[in-house]
Structure formats: structure tokens, C-alpha cells
Amino acid sequence: MRRMAAFLILFLLSATPAAAAGLEQYADQLPKYTYTMKDAFAVKGRQGIAVDDKYYYVSGSKAIYKYDKKGNLVASNENPFEGYAIPSNHIGDIDVFNGELFISAEWFMDGVGKDIQIAIHDADTLKFKRTFKFEPSSGQEEVSGICVDRDKRTVWMSSWVGENSGRYLYEYSLDSGKYLRKVHLQPVPQWIQGVYYYDGALYVTADDGEADYDEPDNLYRVNITDKTYATVTREMAFTDVKRHGEIEGLAVDAATGELLVHFNRGARIILGMPKGFYDGYDKEISEVYRFAMKPRAASK
């Protein structure tokens, strides 16, 4: 028996280099970072979060707010659709790049979106500046989030609505505004709420936990290439947040290396709309959580 055990150990050791080499092809299916929750701060908006070197920007469904890095509100625009050529009533997740806010806007009601717009606002004043032309032939039926790929100079949009629309991320040229392509997610996260580009990949938040059962929502990494599809890896489950409600947008603070994730809690959400409250709540609470990010290889 001892000889057999020794033989098996030697066999496994000798096979390890080959096995390790074979596993390299699956490296993109492992989480890239570890995430340690640091703190959270309350905000007025219930949709998205963006960050630059000095400020946080938070979107409500019908408003845009600006906070300093201490969490103090310094500016707001509660009439953000002024100047829009097409009526909107909903803003999703947002991003900020080169002094401009990228706004994912639409008309949304009871789980159905229409009249998608890619709106650009001034990050200083929060006022509307211009729009990108949306491409209906893309098949995108709703917009839940938007982000800028700083390396390729493109803009990505996500869709919360399922079926075909929610199976893809949609890419536009930052410079020309031209629609470029859509990328099929494999596997498809359920109910994507936000999208953000960081360090060569796209990250999406998904409202895929059932709040009634305290199931956590999740963060996924999308390994983008020039192919028409992209593999999706679950980065983390948000098990540390207060009473699971509804996850929203995300961003990464390049200055601090923190992942910022927007959460709402307290309200019951039916078809994307608040409909009453959970026991113990008489209002919805919106918060931005900060997580320290560390590359997994250096996480020991």
C-alpha cells in the first residue's frame, strides 16, 4: 500500500508542470482581483457612480449629483434632460472622462426602455452639452450603463433588459460617435446594471441576487477581444453589503485603487421600479461602497 501511495505522489508531481501548462488556457476564467470592503457613504442618486481625481459623480433616475472625496455634496442638476432633443425620464450608470460626463439616458417604464440616448454633460456644471447618435440596428432595447474605454477610445453600453438585448455589450467610437459592434457575453450575467472599463477588461454589475432571500448580487469581468463574443468571469459576490437590495453602477478610482459600487436598499423593486418597502424601512437608502482592490497573485 505504501509503495502504491508513493507511486501516486511521484506521478502527480511529475504531471504537475504539464498540468499547469494546460491550465494556463483557463487563466481568464479566474478572478483577477480580491476585494476588501472599506466603508460606504450615503448619496442622493439611486443609479450610477463615476469618479475622477477630485470628485464623485452620482446619477439619480432624473438627476445628477457631484460630491467631493469626503462625501460632501457640492453641486447638483435636478433638471438634467433640459436641451435633449428626445424626451427622457431615466438615467442609468454614468462615466466621466476628460471633463465630460457620459450619461446613459432613455424613456423607461415598468421594465421597458425606449428612445436610448448617449448624452454628454459638462463635469464642472453638470449641464447638457451634446449627444452621440444611437444606432437602433444594434438590437439594443434598453440602456443601463455606459463607460469609456480610455485605451481604445471607445464607448460601451449595457442593457438591463433580457433576451437578445441583454446578451450583448455595445461599442461606439469615442471620436466619431459611430456604432462599431456588439459583443456576445458568454455566459450572460442576469440583469446588468452597470459597466466600467479598467485595466484591459470590462466589468459589469448584475442584479442577479434575489433580495427577498438575501441573495448577493455579483461583479463580473468581461474579457474583451476583437472577437464577436467574450468570456465572462465572476469576480466577486457582494456578501458584505447591508441587507441585499438592488445593485447599480460601478467605477474604479484610479487615484486610490478602490472599486466603487452603488447599492440601494429598503425598497422592493418590481420590473425595475420601486414598489413599496421591506419591513423596517420607510424609504430607500442609496449608498456607494468602497472596496480595496488587490491583484490576486499578490493577495497573500
What is d(CA 272, CA 250) in angstroms, rounded to the nearest whole number? Answer: 18
What phi and psi, each to the nearest 5 degrees, are found at residue 296? -60, -35
Question: In the structure, what pLDDT confidence band is assigned to residue 24 with cuts at 50, 70 and 90?
Answer: low
What the block records as the C-alpha cell of 218 is: 455579483
Number of Cβ within a 10 Å radius of residue 241 = 17
What is d(CA 145, CA 150) in angstroms, rounded to the nearest whole number? Answer: 16
Using alpha carbons, select from 294, 299, 278, 251 the residue that is nearest to residue 47: 251
CB 200 within 8 A of CB 255: no
Amino acid at 285: I
Question: In the structure, what pLDDT confidence band is assigned to residue 268 with cuts at 50, 70 and 90?
Answer: confident
Number of Cβ within a 10 Å radius of residue 107 = 15
pLDDT over 60 at 164, yes or no: yes
pLDDT over 50 at 299, yes or no: no
| Mean pLDDT across the chain | 89
Number of Cβ within a 10 Å radius of residue 159 = 29
Question: In the structure, what pLDDT confidence band is assigned to residue 17 with cuts at 50, 70 and 90?
Answer: low
> pLDDT tens for residues 229-257?
999 999 999 999 987 789 999 999 999 99
The pTM assigned to this predicted structure is 0.89
Amino acid at 108: F
Q: Average the pLDDT over each of 37-46, 83-92, 176-185, 241-250 and give the range with the smallest value.
A: 241-250
Q: Give the helix ranges, DSSP H, for the chain.
A: 2-23
What pLDDT is stored for residue 22 in this prediction?
53
